[in-house]
A and B are shown apart, each in its own frame.
Chain A
């Protein structure tokens, strides 16, 4: 089982290295453990996350790709669909039948034909368009709805942090 997972991960690693999608990179943290990856996602243009480079970790199960991996941001991102501890909550990371929020259509769910690249692209569009109907972070969803300016300010501070820029005064 793990052998197949390893082979599949290797193929995806090669694909991501030779043909990296725009603004996304990913690789195993340690050459000895292919089940633990780190990735960087560039915030989508024209959004409050633009130009931010957000680090995250992806953990694969031994039966990958039958079961979906788990993804967790390590930069303290404040977003309606990301839990306070960084775990990402989007439908592509949930297997059919396992629906924590009850809002997801099963065609958006995880299946073995999905891939790391598709997950990361979904995360990019999630950054651009938060789904505040099934929030993982309720206060972020509330702020996104009611106080967009403040939400954008928090996002901008994080963007600066990920770019090694000092926090802005304003």
Chain B
């Protein structure tokens, strides 16, 4: 463990300890604020950590995680942990019942009960991480990858991880597994001066996914706004005209479509509408109904069709709205 200590001091990871480790508790249960929590606790008390993450096995080995088969289900995990504790008489098992890294500043994520099923005696451990002022970078952010978090650990001059052992807690006979889990969570939360969230890990990963999607969508639409691709064919321009009409209903569709024919660009046409370069409905002109004789020349019939098309939509739109009113 001295080797680890030296390594950590070179990398700028300082581990502070307070409270006493109680040997009679075989399971440590800690809140999860960074990917190196386990390392910090490991320096103070060598312990076992079942791997519940999906990380490459080489890295798992480096960090000293043991594979208890969490991927194969809860039953497997609990049995595996029990067997391991029976075999290893010295080392306790370290569990992060939150199952996910949090900021540790707002609330604890609802605890998973598996580690409380392994042993009825548990020692809660609270972990806090802080970085000195100019490097106040969040230790872990929602949706970040484990290697980017790790990078900041190494890149910043130092990070202080303070670990506090709380008095051990024992499951009462009258208590159910859930109640005991909640009691431990409440104690830990009180120590950290935060609350216990009613959301579990699945809600958190759902939120992370949603945030990622939102961010991607925002980026995509932002890209579109800027470039607003050149409209190449009639069909694209028709679609675009109808889209613009939704936001600028005062303009006749054929007026919008005519302007698009000139600009070939959604943003430019929208700007033209805003600046009053295009006539509004009621002024007649641009898009009046196709009246008069149909020319004999077949090549002009397409224009007749287009003009009828926009009028058909406009008149039906009018009728629809009058009908609804």
Contacts and interface: CB of A to CB of B under 8 A. Distances in A.
Interface of A: 10, 13-14, 17-18, 20, 23, 25-29, 31, 40, 42, 50-53, 159-160, 162-166
Contacts of B135: none
Nearest to B304: A17
B309 A25 contact: yes
B320 interface: yes
Contacts of B313: 40, 53, 162-164
A17 B249 contact: no
B4 interface: no
Contact of A164 (B253, B298, B305, B309): B253
14 contacts: A13-B301, A17-B294, A17-B301, A17-B305, A25-B309, A27-B301, A31-B302, A40-B309, A40-B313, A51-B319, A51-B323, A53-B312, A165-B246, A165-B320
Q: How large is the interface on B (under 10, 10 to 19, 20 to 34, 35 or more residues)?
A: 20 to 34
Interface of B: 234, 242-243, 245-246, 249, 253, 294, 298-299, 301-302, 304-305, 308-309, 312-313, 316-317, 319-321, 323
Nearest to B248: A164
A17 B306 CA distance: 11
A165 B305 contact: no
B261 to A, nearest CB: 16
Contacts of B245: 164
Contact of B317 (A18, A25, A165, A166): A165
B209 to A, nearest CB: 26
Enumerate the 4 nearest inter-chain pairs by beta-carbon distance, A residue then B residue, closest first: A27-B305, A164-B245, A163-B317, A51-B320
A165 B313 CA distance: 11
Contact of A25 (B234, B253, B308): B308
Nearest to A163: B317
Contacts of A53: 312-313, 316
Given A29-B234, A163-B317, 13 more contacts: A14-B301, A18-B294, A20-B308, A27-B301, A40-B309, A40-B312, A51-B316, A53-B316, A159-B320, A160-B320, A163-B316, A164-B243, A165-B320
Contacts of A40: 309, 312-313
Contacts of B294: 17-18
Given A20-B308, A165-B246, A166-B246, A27 B302 contact: yes
A42 B308 CA distance: 12
A25 B316 contact: no
A160 B249 CA distance: 13
Contact of A52 (B243, B246, B298, B316): B316
Contacts of A31: 299, 302
A42 B299 contact: no
B324 to A, nearest CB: 9
Nearest to A160: B320
Contacts of A14: 298, 301
